């Protein structure tokens, strides 16, 4: 059972109410990219890290890493050969 600070029952919150609470408690549960310092749009369970452990990264910054630039052409070549 969820309770508020006064011990009473909490009502379910609308998404806009959650957003307002998160804005006040920033960074709250938001992950911030270690490169550009913008929200990653991800949580701990699906965070993006390089193989070397650098992160969390947003998708844009991950796409700029040497790791991605090396892996992506190999992936595309394998996908092309499978068709």
pLDDT digits (tens, 9 = 90+) for 14-23: 888 877 877 7
Q: Which residues have C-beta within 8 Å of that of residue 56, sequence separation ≥ 6?
A: 31, 32, 33, 34, 40, 42, 47, 48, 49
Residue position matching structure tokens 């394998």: 78
Q: Please give the distance of CA 42 from its chain centroid, rounded to a whole number.
A: 2
Read off the pTM: 0.56
Query: Could you give the CA distance from residue 66 to residue 11 in angstroms, rounded to a whole number?
Result: 47
Structure confidence at residue 12 as a pLDDT band (50, 70, 90): confident
Indicate whether 8 pLDDT > 60: yes
Contact 63, 79 (CB under 8 A): no
Tracing tokens 């965070």 back to the chain, one arrives at 47
């Amino acid at each position: 059972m969820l309770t508020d600070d006064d011990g009473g029952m909490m009502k379910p919150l609308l998404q806009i109410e959650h957003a307002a609470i998160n804005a006040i408690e920033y960074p709250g549960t938001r992950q911030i990219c270690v490169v550009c310092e913008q929200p990653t749009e991800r949580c701990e369970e699906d965070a993006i890290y390089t193989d070397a452990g650098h992160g969390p990264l947003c998708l844009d910054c991950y796409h700029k890493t040497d790791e991605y630039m090396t892996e992506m052409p190999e992936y595309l070549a394998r996908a092309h050969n499978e068709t």
